[in-house]
């Protein structure tokens, strides 16, 4: 008689990791480090190619629709290109999710613009693969503003703490109710985990092992 194995099977490593959160929270730096250590592929937000971004921060009301539509189409095109590639070094580590796009539409667009935007978004979103895990990074608005000021990008100078507060509320409304994939919610208010290797290793372990539902992680 053979005994049944009591060894719990280890969850398969994620092939598609998406990191999201507001501006200044550290998404891109984390993506690059994870991809390098895991010998994977980065997929970075194509924001440097958005010709409307500077105008948007100067006057959000008049420049929001074209800015957001450009982002949506750029992200969609990038995701489709990766989807159709025959060879990709996994894991694929991305510094955005398409799920966040309606956040900015809700904050920045008028009702007519948002209605049109949502129609386009729904058509595109159905065609894209879902991540194996989404990591939602968040922090208090004053902490985000300090980090943004530290990096000193010229086009980010008009960003205010109130805008970041509104943005953080919208992100929380989206991702604290998110259930499309496994979700890891990481509060980075009290520490920069990228400067503290022990905290980074805790985060990396959770990213590689979390496979069901939502988990909250507070780093201090």
Q: Where are the domains of the chain?
A: 16-218
Question: Which pLDDT score, from 0 to 100, does residue 4 have?
Answer: 44
Please say if the pLDDT value at position 135 is more than 90. Answer: yes
User: Taking the model in full, what pTM does it have?
Assistant: 0.87
Give the Cα-Cα-Cα angle 102, 216, 98 (nearest 5 degrees). 20
Please say if the pLDDT value at position 99 is more than 50. Answer: yes
Question: Which pLDDT score, from 0 to 100, does residue 8 have?
Answer: 52
Please report how the helices 161-175 and 141-151 are oriented relative to each other, as an axis angle in degrees rounded to 10: 120
Question: Which pLDDT score, from 0 to 100, does residue 195 have?
Answer: 81
High-pLDDT (> 90) share of the chain, %: 66
Topology of domain 16-218, CATH: Rossmann fold (3.40.50)
If pLDDT is split at 50, 70 and 90, which confidence band does 67 have? very high
| Structure-block tokens of residue 215 | 């988990």
| Rounded CA separation 57/78 (Å) | 24
Average pLDDT over residues 148-172: 92
pLDDT per residue as tens digits for the range 3-26 = 444 445 666 789 999 999 999 999
Question: Which pLDDT score, from 0 to 100, does residue 31 have?
Answer: 95
Question: Which pLDDT score, from 0 to 100, does residue 181 have?
Answer: 95
**What are the C-alpha distances in Å from 178 to residues 9, 57, 136, 155, 171?**
27, 28, 10, 31, 10
Average pLDDT over residues 77-89: 86
Torsion over CA of 148, 111, 70 and 158, rounded to 10 degrees?
Answer: -20
Of 20, 48, 59, 95, the active-site residue reads 95
If pLDDT is split at 50, 70 and 90, which confidence band does 68 have? very high
> Whole-number mean pLDDT of the chain?
89
Please say if the pLDDT value at position 168 is more than 60. Answer: yes
Please say if the pLDDT value at position 152 is more than 50. Answer: yes
**What are the C-alpha distances in Å from 161 to residues 4, 108, 165, 167, 192?**
58, 16, 6, 10, 19
| Rounded CA separation 174/57 (Å) | 22
Identify which has the larger pLDDT, 194 or 54: 54
| Secondary structure of the chain as H, E, C letters | CCCCCCCCCCCCCCCEEEEECCCCCCHHHHHHHHHHHCCCEEECCCHHHCCCHHHHHHCHHHHHHHHHHHHHHHHHHHHHHHHCCCCCCCCEEECCCHHHHHHHHHHHCCHHHHHHHHHHHHHHHCCCCCCCEEEEEECCHHHHHHHHHHHCCHHHCCCCHHHHHHHHHHHHHHHCCCCCCCEEEEECCCCCHHHCHHHHHHHHHHHHHCCCCEEEEECC
95 tagged catalytic: yes
Average pLDDT over residues 153-170: 92
Phi, psi of 189 (to 5 degrees): -60, -40
């Amino acid at each position: 008689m053979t005994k049944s194995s009591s060894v719990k099977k280890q969850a398969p490593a994620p092939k598609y990791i998406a990191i999201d959160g507001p501006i200044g929270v550290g998404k891109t730096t984390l993506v690059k480090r994870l991809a390098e250590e895991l010998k994977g592929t980065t997929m970075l937000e194509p924001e440097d190619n958005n010709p409307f971004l500077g105008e948007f921060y100067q006057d959000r009301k008049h420049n929001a629709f074209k800015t957001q539509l450009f982002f949506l189409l750029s992200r969609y095109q990038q995701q489709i290109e990766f989807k159709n590639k025959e060879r990709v070094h996994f894991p694929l580590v991305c510094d955005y999710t398409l799920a966040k796009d309606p956040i900015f539409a809700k904050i920045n667009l008028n009702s007519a613009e948002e209605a049109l935007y949502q129609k386009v978004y729904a058509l595109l979103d159905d065609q894209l693969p879902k991540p194996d895990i989404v990591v939602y990074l968040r922090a208090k608005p004053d902490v985000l503003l300090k980090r943004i000021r530290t990096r000193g990008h010229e086009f980010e100078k008009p960003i205010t703490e109130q805008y970041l507060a509104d943005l953080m509320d919208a992100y929380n409304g989206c991702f604290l109710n998110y259930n499309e994939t496994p979700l890891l919610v990481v509060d980075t208010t009290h520490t920069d985990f990228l400067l503290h290797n022990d905290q980074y290793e805790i985060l990396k372990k959770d990213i590689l092992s979390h496979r069901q539902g939502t988990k909250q992680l507070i780093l201090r």
